[in-house]
Amino acid sequence: MEFLRPASWEEALAAKAEHPTAVPIAGGTDVMVEINFDQRRPEQLLDLNRITELHEWEVGEEQVMLGASVPYTRIIENLRTELPGLALAGHTVGSPQIRNRGSVGGNLGAASPAGDSHPPLLTAGAEVEAESVRGSRRIPVEDFFTGVKRNALAEDELIKRIHIDKASGPQQFSKVGTRNAMVIAVCGFSVALHPERRIVKAAVGSAAPTPFRATAAEDFLTAALDEAGLWESGGAIPLSVARQFAELCSASCNPIDDVRGSAAYRRHAVGVMARRTLSWVWDGYRSTGGNGARNDEGGSRCA
Amino acid sequence: MAGATRVPTTITQGTTTKGGIGESTLRPDGTLKVTGEFAYSSDLWHEDMLWGCTLRSPYSHAEIRSVDVSEALKTPGVYSVMTHDDLPAETNFGLEIHDQPVLAKDRVRYHGEAVAIVAADHPETARRAAAKIRVEYAELPPVHDEMSATGPDAPVLHPGRDDHHAPHVAHPNIVHRQPIVRGDVAAARERADVVVRHDYEVGMQDQAFLGPESGLAVPAEDGGIDLYIATQWLHVDRDQLAPVLGLPADKVRLTLSGVGGAFGAREDMSMQAHACLLAMATGKPVKIVYNRYESFFGHVHRHPAKLTYEHGATRDGKLLYMTCRIVLDGGAYASSSPAVVGNAASLSVGPYVVDNVDIEALALYTNNPPCGAMRGFGAVQACFAYEAQMDRLAEELGMDPVELRQKNAMSQGALLPTGQQVDSPAPVSEILRRVKAMPMPPEKQWQSSDATRGGTDVDVRALPGGLSNTTHGEGVVRGVGYAVGIKNVGFSEGFDDYSTARVRLEVAGGEAVAMVHTAMAEVGQGGVTVHAQIARTELGVSGVTIHPADTQVGSAGSTSASRQTYMTGGAVKKSCEAVRERVLQLGRERFASHHPAWTGGGELLLEGGKVVTGSGEVVAALVDVLGDEVVEEELEFRHRPTEAFDLKTGQGFGHVQYSFAAHRAVVEVDTELGLVKVVELACAQDVGKALNPLSTVGQIQGGTTQGLGLAVMEEILVDPDGKVRNPSFTDYLIPTILDTPTIPVDVLELADEHAPYGLRGVGEAPTLSSTPAVVAAIRNATGLALKRVPVRPEHLTGTS
């Protein structure tokens, strides 16, 4: 196995162009496990740890530019106001040691249906900036996941950064695992309010071959909130609406039975998480007087 | 857990020699393990050593048509490739029945069975070479349950059995069957006002010890072999190894290497024979280290069990009879299945007085992973079922579940279904009373006292789901459950169970110091502190060295069955006493004229480096008495003999000693998502005498946590075709600190007069009652029947 250690982003792109099967590695929290378990024997590993810009982030007017290698710990500590959904998801990733090394770029590269960052990226609104020696492009995160552990990257492309919309309203993330920490998602759910556009986005992880947006549920809820004038009034969401939203989220799943959980449980749990997280974000929205100016995490604390 | 642990003051009082029994001396390896500096057997290194690798079967049941190692042998860096045909002497091994091939011959019987081994100059080279071995398999129909094992067309997994259980089993795929009958069940059934009958199931638990299987075999100049190994019983490894290697036992020398934990999983051999065979074939040191994935295939697991229990009682809650049938899945090879059957049968009634019983326990041969020893050893499965029965019965009777248990609880003098009388304290009712009397943990601990955020602030770490942020209190219901269990201590059923200790006392550096040498495997149980404590107490010296454990001293028996403090501790005590006698004799010979106490016939003791009288008067300094003399004794210690259970009636004085623990579990269940947070697991246990109180509480908390794991998450999932589905810590989940509750412990010390210092084995009993207590609490919260562990979210939400 060859271990490529480019000193710069340009060198990394050149190396990836020369060795399209090279596997990029940053924190190594996924790649090294696969290698250690002998599930994967790449010809080359492409070590991105010397490329400092991948560890940097920048908070802009509308978006956060998140370097691909920024570890979850940094996101949790520094970006919970701008990216509350992603910060909550970051809390659920592995152990503190894993959170110190693992990054959103790695999660996207692996493109596991169970990746914890995917649902909050889908609900916040994000683009993946991919680059190769041929040039750079931005892939909407909705188009990024193409199958189980497959993504839209060309073989010579690397993820440079992720452009994530700053939260304009409350966001939530919730995931079910069969233990209270350090667990892979049986299924995950994220919801984000976008008060300025009067829309709600909802996304599901680990309940279909790829993470996905529950668009039928989103459309229903957006319409229901609009009809009842709830964005303006800040009134409570009727139970029937919350229930219908949850049912539509549940129905949008296409899960499998596997060692971590049954398909029936996944469908059921997504519905429960949808109903609960909706109530948390809506309570957050109402508690800010309906103007959505303050980014509340819906009341949870994850120290 | 800090602050929640209560140790009675009576067991923390010091003795006259500092660091003696009853003191919480610290483990020498504790800090090293926590900081990651401890040298495990996987850290062993030798100049010029090779690395071994094992090729394992991808099928659970298949005929081996051919094995072609030629490509593997051609790989540069490869020194040896061995298959069954290359074995030099005996080809099989086993703890009780030698039914397991060192390398599969013409048939594989479980997924992961060893087929070939490779030695190479680099572990990666060895792995790549192993991948080049071409094995032609022809799959056979797998035996996976009782039906397929004993049905009319069942393939016989071990044809031509000649072991001593073979004559009395109804089918060759039954390893061993033990019935116990006593009283008149039919008549009692007539008298019963209430009858409860249910089926239960226990999943396959893994020991999940630290430090996967590993060791280093070094060929010696005398043609023998030195093996540095993490194991539970050096001598039984040696006795299985020597015939396989074709060497006399004294040429096979084992030294204990750094062990992370064992819990029964290191009782059977794993890589021992493979490393030695490769070392002998190549003439070079060979190291083998399993990773966690291979470890799941490299050792036996806890027997999964299907149990049917029936209890009949009077209206006022007096148990009249019990019948049960316990079917244990032993997997492909016998391992310790026969002894597990004996335990399951003889402890199936629990710590209760039931005069009429009809009990049957058996273990099957199947093509599932081999199962054998694990903490609790047959008593765990039974305890889950009989404690569930107690709750069902209490419900039927409208009685308090603790009161029902207390009403039927055994006490000293009670007769077990085997006819054996319990002849030492059995405070079953008392430990139940104590856990029930403990203060309840506060409600809704997830609610933050911080009111600045409108009272909505929650600490998700204290809720079901934890950091996964699944509830802020929605759907959460609290439940409380109780359970109590009985575990035997030591090896039972007539086994000649003994331990050996060599103790030396001499003057070094102007001070009398002791050396304790045993073959006891320290696997975390704490013998390493206890032996030194005993030596200090018995010999009155502070400087005690624990010699590394090896086979250069007599057997210490297995570090299992909660027996080591009793047995090897007993041997250390006995040898110390013999050393002391010789020292006093020396004193009488040399100094009789110096002090009247030497010849006065009164008691003389060794304390604080002095010979003192019973009243504490100093007679002589130990250094003066010893002079240049080295006093050494090596003695064996045996517990009182036991006898086999009658094969038809199950009657017999089968066990040495019994150990009792009770738990109260408080859980909070997210009833909508089926997630569980165990809030508290209070335990009361009688330990006879806590030689090291801190260690004792540690054992109880560890056993409690392992029981919690079985209750809510730990299970090796096996397909109907015998394939293991989750052989990694990604999907075999064990409790993290966020899953581990506060564990207040109440330790009783009621001496057993048959045991050294009155002590009682500690390590296993808390593993028994923890599981049913947690499940009882979940039933209490949800109202569900829950007849299977581990309880999964699917079971709590009707989405299986």
User: pLDDT (tens digit, 9 = 90+) per residue, B67-98?
Assistant: 999 999 999 999 999 999 999 999 999 999 99
pLDDT recorded at residue B456: 54
**Residue B449 confidence class, pLDDT cut points 50, 70, 90:** low
CA distance B112 to B105: 14
CA distance B307 to A142: 50
For each of the domains in chain B, give its residue range(s) and CATH number, in order of start: 9-37+498-638 (3.30.365.10), 41-140+212-259+266-298 (3.90.1170.50), 434-492+656-797 (3.30.365.10)
CA distance A83 to A280: 16
**Residue B624 confidence class, pLDDT cut points 50, 70, 90:** very high
Of B448, B467, B474, the CB nearest to A91: B467
Q: CB distance A300–B469 less than 8 Å?
A: yes
Lowest mean pLDDT among A163-167, B3-7, B352-356, B511-515: B3-7
CA distance B246 to B86: 13
The pLDDT tens digits of the residues spanning B176-189 come to 999 999 999 999 99
More confident residue, B672 or A36: B672
H or E segment to which residue B323 belongs: strand B319-329
Q: CB distance B736–A172 less than 8 Å?
A: no
**Residue B16 confidence class, pLDDT cut points 50, 70, 90:** low
Chain A nearest C-alpha distance from B443 (Å): 19
Q: Enter the pTM of the model.
A: 0.96
The distance in angstroms from the start CA to the end CA of chain A is 40
Of B470, B677, B792, the CB nearest to A273: B470
Residue ranges with strand state E in A16-110: 23-25, 44-47, 57-59, 63-67
Helix ranges, B398-526 (H): 401-408, 428-437
Mean pLDDT value across residues B533-559:
97
Chain A nearest C-alpha distance from B739 (Å): 6
The amino acid occupying position B401 is P
* Residues linked to residue B685 through DSSP beta bridges, in sequence order: B661, B747
Half-sphere exposure of A109 (CA within 13 A, CB side): 27
Q: Which of A172, A179, A257 to mutate to test the interface with B (most CBs of B within 10 A)?
A: A179
Torsions phi, psi for A77 (to 5 deg): -75, -35
Token reading at A13: 């792109």
Lowest mean pLDDT among B402-416, B452-466, B743-757, B780-794: B452-466
Q: Considering only CA atoms, give the Rg of chain A.
A: 19
What is the DSSP secondary structure assignment for residue B7, as one 8-state letter? -
Place of tokens 């999943």: B203
Q: CB distance A92–B468 less than 8 Å?
A: yes
The pLDDT tens digits of the residues spanning B127-138 come to 999 999 999 999
pLDDT of B445 > 80? The answer is yes
Q: Which residues contact B442 (CB under 8 A, 6 or more apart)?
A: none
Number of residues assigned to chain A = 303
B771 contacts B703 by C-beta, under 8 angstroms: no
CA distance B676 to B665: 12
Render the burial of B337-358: b for 16+ CB within 10 Å, e for the rest. bbbbbbbbbbbbbbbbbbbbbb
Q: Is the link from the previous residue into B442 a cis peptide, with omega within 30 of 0?
A: no
Neighbours of A6 (CB within 10 A): 19
SS3 B681: strand
Lowest mean pLDDT among B447-456, B547-556, B717-726: B447-456
Q: CB distance A259–B717 less than 8 Å?
A: yes
Among B204, B222, B295, which Cα is nearest to B718's? B204
Q: Which of B54, B293, B447, B470 to mutate to test the interface with A (most CBs of A within 10 A)?
A: B470
Of B291, B454, B468, the CB nearest to A177: B468
Q: CB distance B726–A299 less than 8 Å?
A: no
**Residue B7 confidence class, pLDDT cut points 50, 70, 90:** very low
Mean pLDDT value across residues B690-715:
98
Kind of pairing, strands B657-670 and B476-489? Answer: antiparallel
Chain A nearest C-alpha distance from B474 (Å): 8
pLDDT recorded at residue A39: 85
SS3 B41: helix
Chain B nearest C-alpha distance from A273 (Å): 7
**Residue B54 confidence class, pLDDT cut points 50, 70, 90:** very high
CA distance B184 to B744: 42
Mean model confidence pLDDT for chain B:
95
Mean pLDDT value across residues B730-755:
97
Residue of A nearest to B457 (CA): A299
CA distance A56 to A36: 29
**Dihedral sign of CA atoms B750, B754, B755, B757 in order:** positive
**Dihedral sign of CA atoms A81, A85, A87, A88 in order:** positive
For each of the domains in chain A, give its residue range(s) and CATH number, in order of start: 1-47 (3.30.43.10), 171-287 (3.30.390.50)
CA distance B393 to B318: 10
Lowest mean pLDDT among B1-15, B406-420, B583-597, B722-736: B1-15
Residue of A nearest to B713 (CA): A178
Chain B positions touching A267 (Cβ under 8 A) are 799
Interface of A with B (CB under 8 A): 33, 36-38, 88, 91-92, 95, 172-184, 186, 259-262, 264-265, 267-269, 272-273, 276, 280, 283, 287, 299-303
pLDDT of B608 > 90? The answer is yes
CA distance A237 to A240: 8
B325 contacts B286 by C-beta, under 8 angstroms: no
- Helix and strand totals (H; E) in chain A: 12, 15
Cα angle B508, B510, B511 (rounded to 5 degrees) comes to 70
Q: CB distance A259–B725 less than 8 Å?
A: yes
What is the DSSP secondary structure assignment for residue B162, as one 8-state letter? -
pLDDT recorded at residue B12: 35
Kind of pairing, strands B788-789 and B194-202? Answer: parallel
**Residue B2 confidence class, pLDDT cut points 50, 70, 90:** very low
pLDDT recorded at residue A38: 81
Chain B nearest C-alpha distance from A9 (Å): 32
Q: Which residues contact A250 (CB under 8 A, 6 or more apart)?
A: A267, A268, A270, A271, A274
B462 contacts B446 by C-beta, under 8 angstroms: yes
Neighbours of A89 (CB within 10 A): 33
Of A180, A259, A301, the CB nearest to B738: A180
Of B453, B467, B675, the CB nearest to A302: B467
B479 contacts B485 by C-beta, under 8 angstroms: no
Torsions phi, psi for B718 (to 5 deg): -125, 130
Report ipTM (2 d.p.): 0.94
Number of residue pairs across A and B with CB atoms under 8 Å? 126
Of A176, A181, A280, the CB nearest to B736: A181
pLDDT of B455 > 80? The answer is no
Of B725, B738, B794, the CB nearest to A262: B794
Among B442, B482, B481, which Cα is nearest to B462's? B442
Of A174, A287, A299, the CB nearest to B468: A174
Chain B positions touching A181 (Cβ under 8 A) are 466-468, 736-739
